[in-house]
Amino acid sequence: MEITQLSFHHYELTPKSAPNRLTSIQPRRGCLLKVQFAEFAQAGFADLFPWPELGDESLELQLQALREGTPFRQGAAAISWAYYEAQAKQKKNTLLSDASCPSHVTLLDRTTIPGGFTTAKLKITAEDIHRWIDLERFFAKFPQMLWRLDFNGLFTTIVSAQSFWDHVSPAAKERIEFLEDPFSEELMINPAALAVFNGTDVAVDRSPSPHALDLAQVWVIKPVYYSPEYLFSEAKNFTGKLVVTSNMDHPLGQVIALHATQKLQKIAGARLLPGGLLTQDLYLPHSERHWLKQQGDALWPTHSGLGWGFSSQLETLTWTET
């Protein structure tokens, strides 16, 4: 693919609380890409929202690599999604369907759960481990809910994980749908480590190695880290369960995740579990927040059209060329 013009729109999102145990509440910076390809009349758009605390290259390094034509993995994926949308617009296709895609609710407030959800996600900290009985009391208030616990690699030894798991009651274990990234990266490829949680599904996130993916029962996919072709091919070949989430990013990134979910509904069928698309309210209101709406446990765009459906809104943003 030949790129004839590459433009950037910088944005900030301010979290309502720390997004996970490794990050702070400071504003987070991202960038939308507008890419003009030689073979298409209209540009394609994508989102670039790195998490350096979780291993991504910084936004500054990513943008410099894009300017030099040697993008890092995340930037290359963004170019691929922009190409994907430009191609769809050339063919007069819209990338979003009317299919409803249920999601879990990510809890910031551990006192209540919004109505309409069957599954909730919690970001687990070391403090939660030390006061686990408090979380079990919280679980007991909502007996119909399933729980997804995201550890972001909290356990660095098998012994510490086993000590924690031994203190989780059988009733709580029955309600835990899966444990996401319980171990640090090197232990996520150790069968003895994952055997600690035997009987409960373990999920991998953050671009897992092939070996980690082979051992896991659930693959948590953030589409903006993969080219569309790779994503849909690998998801088809993966035999376990799939969960599609946003990268807790711009509404455009959420829309890309929504499209991937709708497509995977056809590819994966029952292997596709409710996703993690509803991340817009993890941040304070901002100018593009109204591009999305929530109905029950599903995400919907507020505009429709070719490609992602937001071309007119995207064109009105301030763009800086390389």
Query: Per residue in 109-133, pLDDT tens?
Result: 788 888 889 999 999 999 999 999 9
**Residue spans of alpha helices (H) in the chain:** 59-67, 73-90, 126-130, 132-140, 158-166, 170-175, 191-194, 210-215, 228-237, 251-268, 311-315
Residue 135 pLDDT exceeds 70: yes
The owner of tokens 């609710």 is 105
For the chain, what percent of residues have pLDDT higher than 70?
98
Q: What integer best gives the mean pLDDT of the chain?
A: 94
pLDDT band at 209 (very low <50, low <70, confident <90, very high): confident
Q: Domains, the chain, ranges and CATH?
A: 3-94+312-321 (3.30.390.10), 105-308 (3.20.20.120)
pLDDT band at 23 (very low <50, low <70, confident <90, very high): low
User: What residue type is assigned to position 144 of the chain?
Assistant: Q
Closest CA to 118 of 150, 149, 142, 94: 142
- Tokens representing 9 are 């729109």
For the chain, what percent of residues have pLDDT higher than 90?
88
Specify whether the CB–CB gap between 139 and 176 falls below 8 A: no
Specify whether the CB–CB gap between 222 and 251 falls below 8 A: no
pLDDT digits (tens, 9 = 90+) for 149-197: 999 999 999 999 999 999 999 999 999 999 999 998 899 999 999 999 9
Q: Compute the average pLDDT of residues 95-108.
A: 93
What CA–CA distance (Å, rounded) separates 147 from 139?
8
pLDDT digits (tens, 9 = 90+) for 28-55: 999 999 999 999 999 999 999 999 988 8
